[in-house]
Structures are given as C-alpha cells and as structure tokens.
Structure 1
Amino acid sequence: MTTSLPHLTHALFTQPTPSILLPIALGTGIGYSTRPTQTKKTYLSMKQPPLRPPPWVFGPVWTALYGLMGYAAHRAYTLSLPPSLSSHPPTPTPTSPIPLLYTLQLSLNLAWMPLFFTLRRPGLALLDIGALVGLNSYLAYRYFAIDSLAGWCVVPYLAWLGFATYLNAGVGYLNRWDISESTLATREALGKRE
C-alpha cells in the first residue's frame, strides 16, 4: 500500500486531466451531497451582507476555480520534480510537499459546505475558511517560486476565498451565529407577520 501511494500521487499530479477533473468531481459530489435544493433554501432564508451573489453563481465559479486549482497543482508538482522523475519513473519518491499541501487545502475546502449548510455552524465554517485562506496563501507563495503560471492560477481562488470569508463572517454576524433550521424558520415566520 505504501509503495502504491507515491505512484498514485505521481500519476494524479503529472497528468493535467486527472489533476483538473478530480477537484471538480469532488466539489460537485460535496455540492450534491448537501442537498442543493435545501442549500439554496437555507441560503435565501439567511440574513445576508451586502454584495451577496445569487445562488446560481456558485456552481460555475467553483467549477472554474476547482479546475484552476487542479491545473496549478499539476504544473507546480511536475515542475518541482527532478528531471529524472518528471515523466514515468519506476519508483517515484515523494520529494515535493505540493501533494500534501494541496490535499490539505482541498480537504479544508470540501469540509466548508457540510460545516456551513449541513451542520449549520457558521463559526466553525469561518475557522475552516480562515485556515483555507492561510494555507492557500502559503501554497500560492510556493507555486510562484516554482512557476508563475501555477501561482497566477491560484490568485482568483484566493480572491474568491477572501470574498467567501466576508460572506461567511457577514452571515454569521447578521444571524447571531445561529443559522439552525428552527431559528431561520422562526425569523421567516416573524418577517411574514410584519
């Protein structure tokens, strides 16, 4: 098992197609696992800060960002390998920290939606996204040191994460850090009476 992990990592990151498609597939899977209809209803029932986008914006934006992050990881990983390992090595060695850093940031990214929309914990989601911004800032720094195109591919992701952090903090604050189903239903009922 331990010898196959470097091979799997190498196969994933040295080919652009799986590097791009994996985060898109995982992000799509998480999106659908959190029940999109319920997520949209929750999103529309919360008090929102100014500049919140309509719900339909998130799917296309995240698809593009996941694709960019996958391509950036592919370029950074491939260009960080010694020339003898960049094609099809018989026994790749995990010399690059890129796969670990990338996997950590992707895990934090994928955890955000269940934290926010399934568990309805905007405070935990804010901690998650704060760690995500920090890790991706470091990852962008590492990418720029290896390849400027890889670094620039992460910039839109960082910008969107900054905006998402604002939205997360705004929703948390405006809803008193409680977006539970019962609280939102009570607020909605009270709003209809007024």
Structure 2
Amino acid sequence: MTTHIPSLTLPAFLFDSAAASILLPVAAGTAIGFSTRPKQTQTTYLALRQPPLRPPPQVFGPVWTALYGLMGYAAYRAWNTGMTSFDPRTVALTKQGATLYTLQLALNLVWMPLFFAYRRPIEATVDIVALTATTGYLTYVWAQVDEAAAWCLAPYVAWLAFATYLSAGAGYLNNWDFAAKEMPKGGKGKGTKFVDERP
C-alpha cells in the first residue's frame, strides 16, 4: 500500500487552488503533446496497424483536455475536503492520494514520448498498464475521502482502460517494433516515415 511520500508529491499549493489544480495537468499535457510534434504524431498514428475501434486522431485533443480538467478538479476536491477533516484517517488517505495522483500524472506524461517520439511500444504499454492500475487505486482511495472526486476520475479510468487496449493492440499488430515501419526517403509513403497501414 502506497503511503504519502512528500518527495514524490506535488506541493500542497497546487492542490489548494482549483485553478492551479485544473491548469497543471491541462498545461502539462498540452506541453507534452506539442513537444512530440502533433503532425508527426498524427502521421505515425495513422500509419500503424491499429486494433478495431480506434478513434480518429482529432478526438484525442478534446478528450484529453476534458480528462485533464476533471483530473485536476478531482485533486482539488479531494485535497480540500480531506485536509479539513477532523478524522486522522481521512487526512492520511488524502495525503496518500496526493502521492498517487503525482505518480499517475508522471506516468501519464511519459506515455506519449515513449509511444510516439521514441517508438517504444513495449515500454509505453507497460507504462499505461501501471498508469491505469495507479489511477484505479487512486480512485478507490479518494472515494473514501470525497465521492465526487472519485466520480470525476471515473471517465479517466475508463478512457485509460480503452487506451491500454489501443496501446497493446498497436504494439501487437506491429510486432512490437515501430521501427520496422520506416521507409526510405522518396518511397511509397512520401512525406511520412512510416508505411501507411490505413485500410
């Protein structure tokens, strides 16, 4: 059972303010998205063999923005509800949740560079499995502090389960090797580094 680890937990002032709690994951997620070059990410996404039910790439930006906002609001709610409690167990769960929240946010932000920039599908899938498990446990912990915070995380956990399927499916269908999709310059997939696997 993970406990509160101050050195692995975001500073309290980021949980105290609703604006800071919401803006932190939204800004961090946006920064990671742009750092991995959106056009190249979209090209890579479309070029890889994907499992059924993959959404179009335009869906991910709005969905992740909404999920980051809900995640941040959940953090604000749980922290401010739990830290004002007179029950020492509730305070301890709140702090434990803050550590879990920090860990899941770090795991979340690492996935995109692993999958798209470094093209490491095995590591990306291990990361997202750990992320989903951590977030599921965080939801359970924060449900004991503030039910509304847990419900705010529910869509995020559901999306992570779907994203885990997509990550593992893409890895499996591409033999866990995205480098094998690379083509020489001027080849059939001109303008892209990958073979176009679209049907």
Q: TM-score, normalised by structure 1?
A: 0.84
Q: Deviations over 1:55-90 (max 9, x none)?
A: 000000000000000000111111111458xxxxxx
Amino acid at match of 1:45: A
How far apart, in 2, do the equivalents of 1:191 and 1:96 lie? 47
Show the counterpart of 1:21: 23
Amino acid at match of 2:183: A
Show the counterpart of 2:62: 60
Does the 8 Å CA contact 1:49/1:170 hold for their aligned counterparts? yes
Match of 1:146, SS state, is coil
Q: Deviations over 1:8-42 (max 9, x none)?
A: 82221011111001000000000000011110110
Match of 1:96, SS state, is helix
Match of 1:115, SS state, is helix
Does the 8 Å CA contact 1:45/1:184 hold for their aligned counterparts? no
Stretches of 4+ aligned residues off by more than 4 angstroms: 186-192
Task: Summarize the Cα distance change of 1:191–1:162 in structure 2 as closer, same or farther, 3 Å threshold.
Answer: closer
Does the 8 Å CA contact 2:75/2:101 hold for their aligned counterparts? yes
Does the 8 Å CA contact 1:122/1:168 hold for their aligned counterparts? yes
Does the 8 Å CA contact 2:81/2:145 hold for their aligned counterparts? yes
Show the counterpart of 2:148: 149
How far apart, in 2, do the equivalents of 1:134 and 1:188 lie? 41
1:99 Cα offset (Å): 2.2
How far apart, in 1, do the equivalents of 2:78 and 2:134 lie? 15
Structure 1: any 5+ residue segments left out of the alignment?
A: 85-94
| Structure number having the greater helix percentage | 1
Match of 2:144, SS state, is helix
Does the 8 Å CA contact 1:45/1:188 hold for their aligned counterparts? no
How far apart, in 2, do the equivalents of 1:48 and 1:82 lie? 47
Amino acid at match of 1:98: G
Which of residues 28, 39, 45 in structure 1 aligns to 2:41?
A: 39
Task: Summarize the Cα distance change of 1:117–1:139 in structure 2 as closer, same or farther, 3 Å threshold.
Answer: same
Aligned length: 177
Show the counterpart of 1:168: 167
Structure 2: any 5+ residue segments left out of the alignment?
A: 1-6, 87-93, 190-194
How far apart, in 1, do the equivalents of 2:142 and 2:59 lie? 27
Show the counterpart of 2:108: 109
Show the counterpart of 1:126: 125
How far apart, in 1, do the equivalents of 2:55 and 2:196 lie? 22
Show the counterpart of 1:183: 181
1:143 Cα offset (Å): 1.2
Task: Summarize the Cα distance change of 1:191–1:116 in structure 2 as closer, same or farther, 3 Å threshold.
Answer: closer
